[in-house]
């Protein structure tokens, strides 16, 4: 990771580069930022910059191709030690290294470091990952023993707020009495939850949120951002992870609206064969999305009923939803609204209970033919 690959944070980059040039890097640096700010990328770029052997005086970025930079790229540099929250393995002395293969895959696939994704890649989305005490001991050994290939041994700690208190106490000793040529970089999303003794030992840099335009360009992945990408960026307040989720929700609701419109049009025109194809198509979404779609349909039916009653101010629909509903809403009235909502609700319960989605959805579609005539 080079500074050039890090989105935003130009002021902090300059400051870090100056610190290196003037030999003022602290023993312990705490970079804090809300999740989704690219904070870990900045930390990795700094570590690579410090270790780079192809860099000449005055260069403001690592070279990207010296052996050291290549080892950083593969997350394999002998003097770069990662510590991060994990779940306990069967052995008593769980350390981050036990999860190294999963960690490399995670950090490569998502350098923005979505914690929920890390949590589920550990195999238990409800588990509470921690930094266990053995990590502090194993780090002490590594810092003492490692066959150095560079002048600085760097310990990069992701989410120090997830440290168990014993871990923090052991690490504190290492931070208080650092070996020469050792540097700690702590990357936190919740600095207020870090043990105060550790927090106070660190030189702290708080990162600013990245700009909406920068978030939008991350979502657009190098192309010109479109309106939905700008909207998602704006809603997420500089958090790329939240923006990605918001964009995925928007895309899902466009798909859901399409499926909803198809169902209602085909049911109204009694196209049974087409309804069968519709149910097969929706059944490809997978159980979770099918259930969310059934939720969506219930909301749309409710909104259309309200629109039909002409209670304008109670309407919560997107432009596209309103456009369809302005013609569709007369079909949802006091005679069928409850029954239609109940059918969607029952279909959702049946799908959740492992029923055959194709059959449940086709059955629902056929009932809709009659219900729309009411
Ligand atoms: Zn280099």
* Tens-place pLDDT, residues 191-244: 999 999 999 999 999 999 999 999 999 999 989 998 889 888 988 989 999 999
Give 187 Cα–ligand 1 centroid separation in angstroms: 23
Q: Return d(Cα 188, Cα 335) in angstroms, integer.
A: 56
Give 44 Cα–ligand 1 centroid separation in angstroms: 13
Domains and CATH numbers, the chain: 3-210 (3.40.50.300), 243-373 (no CATH)
Q: Are 189 and 34 in contact (CB under 8 A)?
A: yes
The residue among 251, 249, 189, 241 whose CA lies nearest residue 215 is: 241
Q: Are 111 and 41 in contact (CB under 8 A)?
A: yes
Taking residues 61-73, report their average pLDDT. 97
Q: Return d(Cα 123, Cα 87) in angstroms, integer.
A: 9
User: SS3 for 45?
Assistant: helix
> In the prediction, which pLDDT does 145 show?
74
> In the prediction, which pLDDT does 213 show?
93
Give 32 Cα–ligand 1 centroid separation in angstroms: 26
Alpha-helical runs (H) found in 99-132: 100-109, 115-121
Longest dimension (CA), the chain: 81
Could you say which DSSP state residue 89 is in?
-
Give 52 Cα–ligand 1 centroid separation in angstroms: 4
Q: Are 368 and 347 in contact (CB under 8 A)?
A: no
Quickly tell me which residue has 């259309």 as its tokens: 304
Q: Return d(Cα 205, Cα 187) in angstroms, integer.
A: 10
Q: Average model confidence (pLDDT) for the chain?
A: 93
* CB-neighbour burial class of residue 329 (10 A; exposed 0-12, middle 13-18, buried 19+): buried
Give 364 Cα–ligand 1 centroid separation in angstroms: 61
Q: Confidence band (pLDDT; 50, 70, 90) for 83?
A: very high
> In the prediction, which pLDDT does 93 show?
86
Q: Return d(Cα 273, Cα 271) in angstroms, integer.
A: 6
Q: Are 71 and 77 in contact (CB under 8 A)?
A: yes
Could you say which DSSP state residue 151 is in?
S
Q: Return d(Cα 272, Cα 355) in angstroms, integer.
A: 21
Give 2 Cα–ligand 1 centroid separation in angstroms: 9
pLDDT digit string (tens) for 90-149? 767 899 999 999 999 999 999 999 999 999 889 887 789 999 999 999 999 988 875 677
Helix-, strand-, coil-residue percentages of the chain, each rounded to 5: 60, 10, 30
Q: Return d(Cα 135, Cα 96) in angstroms, integer.
A: 7
Which is more confidently placed, 151 or 28? 28
62, pLDDT greater than 90: yes
Q: Which pairing describes strands 80-83 and 28-32: parallel, antiparallel, or unpaired? A: unpaired
Give 11 Cα–ligand 1 centroid separation in angstroms: 22
> In the prediction, which pLDDT does 255 show?
92
177, pLDDT greater than 90: no
Give 33 Cα–ligand 1 centroid separation in angstroms: 27
Taking residues 153-163, report their average pLDDT. 96
Q: Return d(Cα 162, Cα 168) in angstroms, integer.
A: 10
Measured torsion, CA atoms of residues 129, 40, 47, 11, in degrees rounded to the nearest 10: -150
Q: Pull the structure tokens for residue 113.
A: 């470091």
Quickly tell me which residue has 């980059």 as its tokens: 13
Quickly tell me which residue has 């192309």 as its tokens: 223
Q: Are 339 and 314 in contact (CB under 8 A)?
A: no
Give 183 Cα–ligand 1 centroid separation in angstroms: 19
pLDDT digit string (tens) for 305-345? 999 998 766 667 888 899 999 999 999 999 999 999 999 99
Give 305 Cα–ligand 1 centroid separation in angstroms: 64
Give 118 Cα–ligand 1 centroid separation in angstroms: 29
Give 75 Cα–ligand 1 centroid separation in angstroms: 14
Give 70 Cα–ligand 1 centroid separation in angstroms: 7
Q: Return d(Cα 329, Cα 360) in angstroms, integer.
A: 25
Q: Return d(Cα 272, Cα 70) in angstroms, integer.
A: 60
Give 189 Cα–ligand 1 centroid separation in angstroms: 28
Q: Return d(Cα 334, Cα 189) in angstroms, integer.
A: 50
């Amino acid at each position: 990771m080079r500074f050039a690959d890090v989105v935003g944070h130009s002021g902090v980059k300059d400051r870090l580069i100056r610190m290196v040039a003037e030999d003022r890097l602290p023993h312990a640096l705490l970079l804090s930022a809300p999740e989704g700010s690219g904070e870990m990328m900045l930390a990795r770029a700094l570590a690579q910059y410090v270790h780079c052997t192809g860099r000449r005086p005055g260069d403001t970025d690592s070279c990207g191709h010296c052996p050291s930079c290549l080892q950083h790229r593969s997350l394999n540099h002998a003097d770069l030690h990662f510590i991060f929250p994990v779940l306990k393995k069967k052995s008593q002395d769980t350390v981050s290294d036990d999860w190294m293969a999963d960690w490399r895959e995670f950090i490569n696939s998502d350098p923005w470091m979505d914690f929920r994704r890390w949590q589920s890649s550990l195999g238990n989305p409800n588990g509470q990952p921690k930094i266990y005490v053995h990590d502090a001991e194993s780090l002490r050994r590594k810092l003492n023993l490692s066959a150095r290939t560079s002048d600085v041994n760097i310990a990069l700690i992701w989410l120090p707020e997830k440290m168990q208190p014993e871990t923090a106490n052991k690490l504190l000793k290492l931070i208080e009495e650092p070996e020469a040529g050792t540097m700690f970089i702590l990357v936190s999303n919740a600095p207020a939850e870090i043990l105060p003794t550790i927090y106070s030992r660190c030189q702290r840099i708080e990162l600013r949120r990245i700009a909406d335009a920068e978030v939008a360009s991350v979502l657009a992945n190098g192309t010109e951002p479109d309106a939905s990408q700008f909207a998602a960026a704006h809603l997420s307040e500089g958090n790329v992870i939240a923006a990605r989720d918001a964009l995925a929700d928007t895309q899902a609701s466009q798909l859901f609206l399409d499926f909803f419109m198809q169902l209602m049009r085909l049911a109204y025109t009694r196209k049974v064969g087409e309804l069968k194809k519709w149910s097969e198509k929706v059944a490809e979404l997978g159980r979770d999305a099918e259930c969310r779609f059934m939720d969506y349909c219930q909301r749309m039916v409710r909104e259309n009923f309200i629109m039909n009653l002409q209670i304008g101010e109670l309407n919560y629909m997107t432009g596209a939803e309103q456009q369809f509903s302005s013609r569709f809403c007369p079909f949802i009235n006091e005679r069928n609204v409850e029954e239609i909502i109940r059918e969607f609700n029952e279909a959702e319960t049946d799908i959740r209970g492992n029923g055959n989605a194709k059959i449940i959805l086709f059955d629902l579609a056929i009932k809709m033919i009659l219900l729309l005539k009411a």
